[in-house]
Chains A and B, each alone.
Chain A
Amino acid sequence: AAGVIQSPRHLIKEKRETATLKCYPIPRHDTVYWYQQGPGQDPQFLISFYEKMQSDKGSIPDRFSAQQFSDYHSELNMSSLELGDSALYFCASSLVAGEETQYFGPGTRLLVL
């Protein structure tokens, strides 16, 4: 079965640079969620989109922005990167109408030097 695809899987950036993470949800899923997991920490919700509209917002820094496109894929844009942004970034998708659970992608590991 198709799963959530995230790219890139690994990313190395320097401080003050920008990064764009991409998420391709499971086909037919209309909702995308972004989570950040720092080293040794639990995943923290950042933001979610339903039918291309922001549906919820968590502890996402103002330096970060995200959107969901017409094909339902989503991008998380991160600017002015800081050392503390080094983390695993997970994308999850679900189908609201199907009342299914969220399916997580493999994550993008971001390292800021």
Chain B
Amino acid sequence: LAKTTQPISMDSYEGQEVNITCSHNNIATNDYITWYQQFPSQGPRFIIQGYKTKVTNEVASLFIPADRKSSTLSLPRVSLSDTAVYYCLVGPYSSASKIIFGSGTRLSIRP
């Protein structure tokens, strides 16, 4: 599985847009990029998944450049409830695959 690198922590304020970038230089042709969110003492929750260009859902947007060596998770107008750890994962698109969690980004939102 491709190794990912993302910031250990980020701070922002309510109402701001937050962008978390993940580097995955060794991404394979058949790899997808998936982001999970985890609140304290809760199970991780799927946020968004993409292969290339841009993907948007009701929670976030995922921007993937043409070379796919990085990706950016964008959270619009964050609130205090967005305080969580965000994990960037790269691997084959298969729900039968185990998830290898790397070190996520601890996002803290302040009032």
Q: Give the interface of A toward B (CB within 8 A).
A: 4, 31, 33, 35, 42-45, 48, 50, 55-56, 58, 88, 90, 92, 94-96, 98-107, 109
Number of A-B contacts (CB under 8 A): 61
B39-56 Cβ-contact flags toward A at 8 Å (1 or 0) = 001111110010000000
Q: Are the C-beta atoms of A102 and B99 separated by less than 8 Å?
A: yes
Residues in B with CB closer than 8 Å to A100 are 95
CA distance A90 to B98 in the complex (A): 13
The answer for the CA separation of A31 and B93 in the assembled complex, in Å, is 15
B104 near A42 with CB under 8 A, answer: yes
Cβ contact within 8 Å between A90 and B44: yes
Most buried by A among B41, B45, B98: B98
Task: Determine if B99 and A33 form an interchain contact, defined as CB atoms under 8 angstroms apart.
Answer: yes
CB pair A107–B42 under 8 Å, yes or no, is yes
User: Measured between C-beta atoms, what is the minimum distance from A64 to chain B in Å?
Assistant: 16
Which residues from chain B sit less than 8 Å from chain A, CB to CB? 34, 38, 41-46, 49, 87, 93-104
Whether A43 contacts B99 by the Cβ 8 Å rule is yes
Contacting residues, chain A, for B87 (C-beta < 8 A): 42
| Minimal beta-carbon separation of A6 from chain B (angstroms) | 9
Rounded to whole Å, the gap between the CB of B5 and the closest CB of chain A is 14
Q: Tell me whether A31 and B99 are in contact in the complex, defined as CB-CB below 8 angstroms, given that A42-B104, A92-B43, A103-B46 are known contacts.
A: no
B95, A104: Cβ atoms closer than 8 Å: no
Q: Is the CB of A45 within 8 A of B98?
A: yes
A104 touches which one: B34, B44, B94, B98 (CB < 8 A)?
A: B44
Instruction: List the 9 shortest-distance A-B pairs measured between CB atoms, nearest first.
Output: A104-B43, A94-B95, A42-B101, A45-B98, A101-B46, A96-B96, A90-B43, A43-B101, A100-B95
Q: Is the CB of A45 within 8 A of B96?
A: no
Q: Which of B38, B46, B93, B103 contacts A102 (CB 8 A)?
A: B46
